[in-house]
Amino acid sequence: MCRQKWTCCRGKCYHFSQESKNFGDSRAFCNRMDSKLVKIEDEQQLNFIQSQITYYSWVGLSRQGTASVWTWEDNSQPLLEFDWEESSRGNCGSITASTMAAADCAKLMHIVCEKRLSCLST
């Protein structure tokens, strides 16, 4: 089983925080737990994440400005086409149970962290 407050699915563990933080503080929050903001790589993962949340939550997707491309924390570009709500002020990615959206990085939102299944106790 994963450590307390972590949920596992398909080789990864997720922490769905009830705390609200801005994007930068959310990244730091995940880093303190040896994890990163979630990177959504396929439809199954997207569906799982969305089934677990009810509020807007940060994901590890951001850009340097409206003229820049969106990248995940590992600097890779999204492989999925998201039903995306674009925003001229939003340079950070957020997710709800039904959509993903660009949001102002200073907003306070819940956090979804992820790490490999190595969070399993031995």
Domain ranges of the chain: 7-119
Q: What whole-number distance in Å separates Cα of residue 48 and Cα of residue 27?
A: 21
pLDDT recorded at residue 86: 63
Query: Each residue of 54-68: pLDDT tens digit?
Result: 999 999 999 988 778
Whole-angstrom CA distances from 53 to 46, 48, 75, 120, 121 are 11, 9, 25, 22, 25
The pTM for the full model equals: 0.84
Query: Burial, 28: exposed, middle or buried (Cβ in 10 Å; 0-12, 13-18, 19+)?
Result: exposed
Q: Is the pLDDT of residue 29 over 90?
A: yes
Q: What do you get for the CA distance between the two ends of the chain, in Å? A: 9
Phi and psi at residue 116, in whole multiples of 5°?
A: -60, 160
Residue 89 amino acid letter: R
pLDDT recorded at residue 78: 83
Q: Is the pLDDT of residue 122 over 50?
A: no
Q: How would CATH label the architecture of 7-119?
A: Roll (3.10)
pLDDT recorded at residue 1: 41
